[in-house]
Structure 1
Amino acid sequence: MKNTGKILCVLFCNLFAINIEAQNPIIKDIFTADPAPLVHKGTLYLYTGHDVATQEDTNYKMADWHVFSTINMKDWKDHGALLSPSAFSWATGDAYAAQCIERDGKFYWFVSTFHKKDEVSQGGAAIGVAVSDSPTGPFKDAIGKALIINEMTTDMKYGWDDIDPTVFIDDDGQAYMFWGNGSCKWVKLKKNMIELDGEITTFTPKNYIEGPWVYKRKGLYYLVYASAGTKPEMIEYCTAKNITGPWRYQGIIQENVQNSFTTHPGIIDYKGKSYFFYHNGSLPTGGSYRRSICVDYMHYNKDGTIQKIIQTTEGVGSVK
């Protein structure tokens, strides 16, 4: 009996230790989705969606966008709900995927939501821009109208294709926005970040469905996205020597996630390491409409290709 008691004690202690080390999901008090990391002055900021659907709901309900921050990849500060569709007079509906980017001391938060039916648009998904002098706000509508409306893109014959913006500023200062469900669209942005600079281009990478994330590393451009090759979604990617393509398909880097039909990439280098943010449905009562953001390490091969993401509950280690 004494030995049995010791064994139970050891097992309990080990389980307790594993629970302490289980970082993922990184936000546990609310349901978060669609991660978009940004590094500014030594702090990593994480811009997220916010799932508020009940366990009985059968579709997304996303109330607003939140911001979290960390300086050590372990402790996350909650800055609250800093933006919602109600901040845009033209908007209605939910707070879909978004990304914030800094330029010339201002922070531009590109968001996807839906447009009211009015003299400008007959409704459908739309992309807006909010601006602030700080990564944590206050944010306000930068232009008083949508940057992209459904009528601007006609290749997809439904109203929800203009979602999930990702914005990238190249080494020469030219800004680009990529977005889209069903097909991927891109367009140049003017230096003020609130006007289009040219025509919209549409293309469809292999298995592409939604959620693009665009960045550059060691002279190579990366287009990472949620794929339609299987259901539920996985993450696949392409590379190119030019931001405008042609894009070369490279394969799958993240398999299906736990308890969620969707996943969504957010990629960043921070304090010497590469990180891959995504969401799953692993929190208690979680699911496809009640998702939670996780982070794991990202590794590259010598030729620049990305190694498979290993999804863990432990997450990543702390940094100084």
Structure 2
Amino acid sequence: METKEIMTSLGNPIIRHKFTADPTVLVHEQKVYLYTGHDEALPDRYEYVMNEWLCFSSEDLIHWTEHPVPLKAKNFKWASGDAYASNVIRHYDKFFWYAAVTHATIPGKAIGVAISEHPTGPFKDARGSALITTQMGIKLGTDNFDPSVLVDDDGQAYIFWGKNICYYAKLKENMIEIDGTINTLNLPEFQEGVHLHKKNGSYYLSYGYEFPEKVGYAMSRSITGPWEFKGILNEIAGNCETNRPAIIEFKGKDYFFYHNGSLKHGGSHRRSVCIDHLFYNEDGTMKRVIMSSEGVSKATH
């Protein structure tokens, strides 16, 4: 596929020619890189059909460039498919892509990690095996969904993930191995879709809250807790039962990425990524995000 520009000045959703879901967002060299899942279910199918992830970039959050598909679920040779929610980060001048897929030989979902020298890929399996599987002390009734990785100021990396229970662990310096034990967090009505970010010394853990999913969040002064639940950040997104937040600061402003089902023939299995502004209170808590059709204005210096 050739790279092409997409004009999205008409507001939300920001990508309109394909169904996109589960945003993960990276700021690199004055560009925003948006990575999404790709909902491919036909309108008469009420199940997730997701085989690949997509990549878009923008210098202003209005004009987006679509790049060739950087990663497919079956690029993990040990996976049977299903390109579920993921997280892309930059560390050691490399780009690491943590993704939830279905394991071919171990029951349940698994988390793999791919690596690239460039933000647009191509990405390749960094291990040749899953980073996290259900054989690693994952409790019955939970699963390995929706990874989120944060590298703390001291260089220590942590990965958070989960379904019904939120798990977290340290990563080794190579970023592709778990370091030590897997721990759990007790978060109110935790479903899935965890996203971590840090601002002004505080850690923020946003996630799918209740079902259908709102987005709730907790705060902490330490990445290992204790975490204090702060309330609802985003309401139920239209006719879509799920949500997956991604939060960035770009050119001096804060932004909240999420998905809804607002495109024609859209819904819970045909979702679309949106952006709205995010604002903080003086005490560091986040104000409730106002979802809009207008979206955001052009990001400038």
Q: Under a length normalisation based on structure 2, what TM-score does the superposition of the two structures give?
A: 0.95
Question: 1:143 matched to which residue of 2?
Answer: 127
Q: Are 1:108 and 2:92 counterparts?
A: no
Quote the offset at 1:253 in angstroms: 1.0
Runs of at least 4 residues of structure 1 off by over 6 A?
Answer: none
2:199 counterpart of 1:211: no
Contact 1:156–1:182 (CA<8 Å) still a contact in 2?
Answer: no
Query: What are the superposed Cα offsets for residues 260-318 of structure 1, whole Å, 9 maximum, x if unpaired?
Result: 11111010000000000000000001110000000000000000001010000110000
Q: Determine whether 1:314 maps to 2:300.
A: no
From 264, 285, 297, give the equivalent of 1:305.
285
In 2, distance between residues paired with 1:271 and 1:298? 13
How many angstroms apart in 2 are the aligned matches of 1:233 and 1:157?
A: 18
- Report the AA paired with residue 136 of structure 1: T
Superposed counterparts of 1:83-94, under 5 Å: 83-94=71-82
Using the alignment, how far apart are the partners of 2:186 and 2:54 within structure 1?
Answer: 30
Aligned to 1:64: 52
Quote the residue 2:4 is aligned against. none
Asked whether the equivalents of residues 216 and 222 of structure 1 are also in contact (C-alpha less than 8 Å), the reply is: yes
| Native 8 Å contact 2:52 2:71 kept in 1 | yes
1:27 to 8, 15, 21: 15
Whether the 8 Å CA contact 2:9–2:63 is kept in 1: the answer is no
Q: Which of 94, 97, 118 in structure 1 is aligned with 2:85?
A: 97
Equivalents in 1 of 2:28, 2:242: separation in Å? 28
Q: Which of the two has greater helix per residue?
A: 1
Mapped pair 1:290 → 2:278? no
Asked whether 1:174 is paired with 2:162, we answer no
Q: Which has the larger radius of gyration?
A: 1
Aligned-partner residue type, residue 136 of structure 2: M
Question: SS in structure 1 opposite 2:262?
Answer: coil
Q: Show the counterpart of 2:108.
A: 124
Asked if 1:261 is matched to 2:241, the reply is yes
Q: What's 1:250 paired with? A: 230
Residue identity opposite 1:52 in structure 2: E
CA distance in 2, matches of 1:136, 1:157: 35
Task: Looking at secondary structure, tell me which structure has more strand per residue.
Answer: 2
Picking from 257, 264, 281, the partner of 1:277 is 257
How many equivalent residue pairs? 293
User: Shift of residue 21 of structure 1?
Assistant: 5.7
Q: CA RMSD in A?
A: 1.1
**Contact 1:128 1:148 (8 Å CA) reproduced:** yes
CA distance in 2, matches of 1:47, 1:204: 29
Asked whether the 8 Å contact 1:43–1:70 carries over to 2, the reply is yes
Q: Give me the whole-angstrom Cα distance separating, in 1, the residues matched to 2:160 and 2:212.
A: 23
For residues 34-70 of structure 1, the C-alpha deviation after alignment (integer angstroms, 9 at most, x for no partner) is: 0001001111000100000011112111120011000
- State the secondary structure of the residue aligned to 2:275: strand
2:64 corresponds to which of 70, 73, 76: 76
CA contact (8 A) 2:151 2:158 kept: yes
Contact 1:24-1:294 within 8 A present in 2 as well: yes
Are 1:41 and 2:29 an aligned pair?
yes
Q: Which amino acid in structure 1 is aligned with residue 38 of structure 2?
A: H
Offset from partner CA, 1:194-221 (integer Å, 9 cap, x none): 0111100012301111000011110111
Using the TM superposition, give the Cα deviation of residue 157 of structure 1 relative to its aligned residue in structure 2, in angstroms: 3.0
1:156, CA displacement in angstroms?
3.1
Structure 2 residue 181 is the aligned partner of structure 1 residue 193: no
Q: Deviations over 1:121-171 (max 9, x none)?
A: x3210000000000001110001000001111332335xx10100000000
Gaps of 5+ in 2: 1-7
Question: What letter corresponds to residue 319 of structure 1 in structure 2?
Answer: A
Can you give the 5+ residue segments of structure 1 that lack an aligned partner in the other structure?
Answer: 1-19
In the alignment, which residue of structure 2 is the partner of 1:16?
Answer: none
DSSP-derived class of the 2:279 partner: coil
Paired residue for 2:118?
Answer: 134
State the shift of 1:93 in Å.
Answer: 2.4
Q: Return the letter of the residue paired with 1:299.
A: F
- Tell me, yes or no, if the aligned pair for 2:40 and 2:270 is still in contact at 8 Å: yes
Alignment identity in percent?
Answer: 48
User: Residues of 2 paired with 1:157 and 1:24: CA distance?
Assistant: 35
Partner of 1:14: none
